[in-house]
Chain A
């Protein structure tokens, strides 16, 4: 049950180092890119000196939150995808495909448009988490009944459609004329014009979710040998399942509540890091999280650099990048006869 961070082998450590560096560079690039040019080092100086200048305000309340949320949400999605693929031993598992993200969006929508978030701001991430948790529990029930890989995916697709439809219904029932148009945000995701409040709202809950999922690394490795073997190696499977479900709900739920549902990240990223760190699920957790952060940050840079205005939703870009990549990956696997 010992699952502390320093990863066991050197390759994994090197991959984590390189990806960490990439995330850092992309975060800085994300801070540097925006719609109004200003002297960022000077603004950072103002910020550190506590001078409330306009550039300092824009840096702290617009640029930084956008960059930080890109990294945080991406890490959550990548890590959750890797953990789910490992636990379910299913290469198609992903918070988007299995309906976790749409259920989280539904929870957040009910809380936000119901007016609860206005009086109690923490209600927003909690709504998202509740939605994601319900979806994760439902999927666990399906998985526990011994369904096939395909059966689980189909259950997820059904869950995802249902949550999406209920989200649309809730938004259409809202008396606010703008609400119905905001379904695009909730189903495709965006990081535009978020604030530091959003970072503080989701960060603690997300971090707790990451810790829970990262603590299952060794157990996920053991599970590749089958549940009986893993149990005989001393892993408490109920505890593993509980940590994974809670962790995924916390990380995905709070992320979706502030950014909307961004698809494909959790699906593609574990496939990307697997050739680097090997097939052991535990070794893929940190790299998948970091690669997810890099992917979302890069996509978010893309929507700002592309000349489409209003800017594209993030889910559009992640799908444009992610879907063809996955198709190529699957074809190559089939070509190998794997």
Chain B
């Protein structure tokens, strides 16, 4: 008879066979057998967080920056409910997470036992799939299946709930067999005919635009390379969603900047006026489309996505190619090179007028802001941070709000997986724990969380994690004392009724940093900014940087939603165009 292992041992055997190196977790009664077993597995390092939400976001940061699934281990009841926000966040942004939760023993399930909750019931709508393991025989199969579901197709979070008695039960273990069939859920469904049709559309187009998204990042670094090749081959302009930043170099001339609600004037106008729109791994999110009825009215629309349910969900498209972005783009490039040796030239002539138009839009310089010698403008702070860190391979995470948009607008990313932000769910408090996870995956790299003072306080406790593991993360807080985006909307849309958006009694971030055992730096004047940023970058250890910025700055440009892309409002330097009136005001 083969050797018998406990459920807890099997959990580790599965994790080892899956090549897991790090677990982000927090112990508790219902996972004690698993924690007890931890000491016997030196290849797995456990990162002790300070709150289960932090474990989830750290695992997200780890996954998004490394391309590997993040693993979370939490206890039953509050452990599981605390991780729900992170699971939902990962679900919205397609981040592969495997969450293992403890559960009360099977005979107590349904009795309202101590720290019991219906974990699979609670997490059903925020995971790709979840399992309650009621029989030790199912444990290893379920765990391997969990990794497969999390990482294949459109990635996402999964949860495996393991009752405590299952962790003690014994059974033999065998390594996973080759892949189970996919229940007919094959991933690549596109055909050469569709590729040919797309190329035909590309040949005819006079005003094309490529709109790429997080799917390119999820498809792996190779996808970014083939995307770059496609853009070069065609000479088409490209814009990117928030999640897609870095897939195409942010400082390249063919890149129009981010699109959408706070996207650039040129990107949004190009989306509106184009005659061919090629969506690569994005999902027509409402912050991208604005008013649906008037979204890119004159274009043929093509959608490349691995998830068939993304096609025609929001915007009806003329051609859809379901498959892994990398594979679809490779086919396109191969066909382009084979069939259209001269596309390169002819096409670039055909779209030269389009590029002239784009250049005109560019002269609006929509990201412009009025700088100041007295107060630090938040945009200026991000620009300086970029200039002073761009020579390094820097990883940026953010919280959610104005600072997130300024980071997206002013920090230029040249590589995929360098930008971690909560897009779909918009989770304040994401950035700090995400930075912890990124630093774990890339111990030698510079990791900066561009934060807001309100967001960062939501998960500030994870500084303690950073200190414990010597993670030199830099928390760069654009401190305007307001929940800035809330304040901006109240200013523009709710008659400046700043209801509850001002944070009184903020902590002294320098002292807070010191209390956690890390370094605190404060900058108040533009003149000292560079020196202080350099000090932060050079410091070997975690830093909280309190960057005091102009509290009244708003994030522009902006599409008042309910408006089409060509009706953006620009910053205060273009005052005459900056009135939201009548109906538009109602629809932001």
A and B bound? no
- CB within 8 Å of B: which residues of A? none
